[in-house]
Amino acid sequence: MNATAEAKSCPTSSIDPFSHEFLTDPYPFHHDLREAGPVVRLQKYGIWAVARYEDVHRTFHDWQTFCSSRGVGMSDFAKEKPWRPPSLVLEKDPPEHERARRVLSKVLSPVVMKTLRDGFVRAAAAKADELVERREFDAISDLAQAFPLSVFPDAVGMRQEGREHLLPYAGTVFNAFGPDNELRRQAIERAAPHVQWVTEQCQRANLAPDGIGAKIHDAADAGEITHEEAPLLVRSLLSAGLDTTVNGFGAAIYCVARFPDQWSKLRKSPGLARGAFEEAIRFESPVQTFFRTTTRAVSIGDVELGEGEKILMLLASANRDPRKWDRPDEYDIERRVSGHVGFGSGIHMCVGQLLARLEAEVFLTELAKRVNTIEMTGEPTRAYNNTLRGLDRLPVRITPN
Ligand code: QZP
């Protein structure tokens, strides 16, 4: 290939979306990548990036051209061995994807959500009472982690012992989507005990018979998937179902702590809880990025990409693209937020979104009934991960109604 000709026809950037600097404050880099063009060559990695809403959306929806089966991280499964056996849903294309997806869709359906709701309300009320009593606490460990940890593993039907492996395991999964940098290497280096525990918990014998995990094994009895596939599909729940909601909760609390007028609105109308969560997902995008791989030559704008090229989709940038959103950098719980790509879009769009929204709605509603003000009492500190954006400390003080 003629390097000079390529440089003329296609915007190129030296930005590293997985550098410490980028992960600390991605917004100026998002701006530069959006302005560079519909698709940008990332020099450092020899891959492509899409940062505008329209192009991220198109990439999500054209699954025939932009496939998942070669991995949704930077590593191309056609060239490198995956760090763990590929997911039966995330890392597959139709038709295999559909079979696994149908099962997850069923075990995470509105009917199942209805059976979980009352228990979640009780857990949320108890946690909100406890926090109001304490007044000052860390909104990450004491709330964003504590609440999902108090409901999700029980809903799946997991045993008590060993649950401390869940967040480190998920942290590894999300770091592993990134490039071969220090975050990824260190996570994989330390993963073995977490992988071993999680793998064990996916077995039918380790799941309560009435939980979501067991329902996946029941689907194998019904012939919808094989008995060999069931544990790997349970693994998807454990990979994707906790760290995501933890960072979603963290995002929501960080938002209402920085935008007190929005908390006031929520307090006066707890019915806005779902909107407050959804807007926090748009605003912070707990899942910042994902990749696809081209299955054929394709043009994006004026740029022609070959087959077998990795494309980074910057969801967080799409969710604040001024071409799509009015006042993109404002957190507004009454915004018409539908169309955001914080849960992805298209055939792979988050299959657990009803569960995430249920947890958030129920908890934010209970908090809104009790809490007058939420203020930060110190500097929040960031948690660094190749895929997830969130904090590891958010000291707050709340005042009761
Ligand atoms: C992680 C899996 C944000 C999501 C892409 C997270 C995710 C989804 C599925 C899996 C893992 O199936 O293991």
CA of 231 to the centre of ligand 1 (A): 15
Domain count, the chain: 1
| Model pLDDT, residue 1 | 41
Separation in Å, CA 176 to CA 1, 114, 354: 31, 34, 26
β-strand 12-13 against 40-42: which pairing, if any? parallel
Ligand 1 atom nearest to CA at 174: 1
Is 352 inside any structural domain? Answer: yes
Separation in Å, CA 8 to CA 48, 49, 299: 16, 17, 16
CA of 286 to the centre of ligand 1 (A): 13
Judge contact between 23 and 310, C-beta under 8 A: no
User: Could you give the percent of the chain with pLDDT greater than 70?
Assistant: 98
Cα–Cα distance measured from residue 84 to residue 86, given in angstroms and rounded to the nearest whole number: 6
- The residue segments making up the domain with residue 14 are 3-90+101-400
| Model pLDDT, residue 287 | 98
- Chain segment 79-99, per-residue pLDDT in tens: 999 999 999 999 999 999 999
Judge contact between 289 and 388, C-beta under 8 A: no
Q: What is the mean pLDDT of residues 354-360?
A: 99
Is 95 inside any structural domain? Answer: no
Going by alpha carbons, the residue nearest to atom 2 of ligand 1 is 236
- Chain segment 218-244, per-residue pLDDT in tens: 999 999 999 999 999 999 999 999 999
Is 348 inside any structural domain? Answer: yes
CA of 181 to the centre of ligand 1 (A): 20
Going by alpha carbons, the residue nearest to atom 13 of ligand 1 is 236
CA of 22 to the centre of ligand 1 (A): 23
pLDDT band at residue 152 using 50, 70 and 90 as cut-offs: very high
Judge contact between 241 and 116, C-beta under 8 A: no
- Chain segment 303-353, per-residue pLDDT in tens: 999 999 999 999 999 999 999 999 999 999 999 999 999 999 999 999 999
Residues within a 6 A CB radius of ligand 1: 87, 89-90, 173, 235-236, 239-240, 244, 287
Judge contact between 310 and 48, C-beta under 8 A: yes
What DSSP designation does 139 have? Answer: I
Long-range contacts of 61-64 (CB under 8 A, 24+ apart): 61/345, 61/346, 63/93, 63/94, 63/346, 63/347, 63/348, 64/295
CA of 341 to the centre of ligand 1 (A): 15
| Model pLDDT, residue 3 | 41
Domain CATH for 152: 1.10.630.10
Sheet containing strand 47-50, edge to edge, reads 12-13, 40-42, 47-50, 310-314, 289-294, 66-67
Is 96 inside any structural domain? Answer: no
| Model pLDDT, residue 227 | 98
- Chain segment 244-298, per-residue pLDDT in tens: 999 999 999 999 999 999 999 999 999 999 999 999 999 999 999 999 999 999 9
Is 256 inside any structural domain? Answer: yes
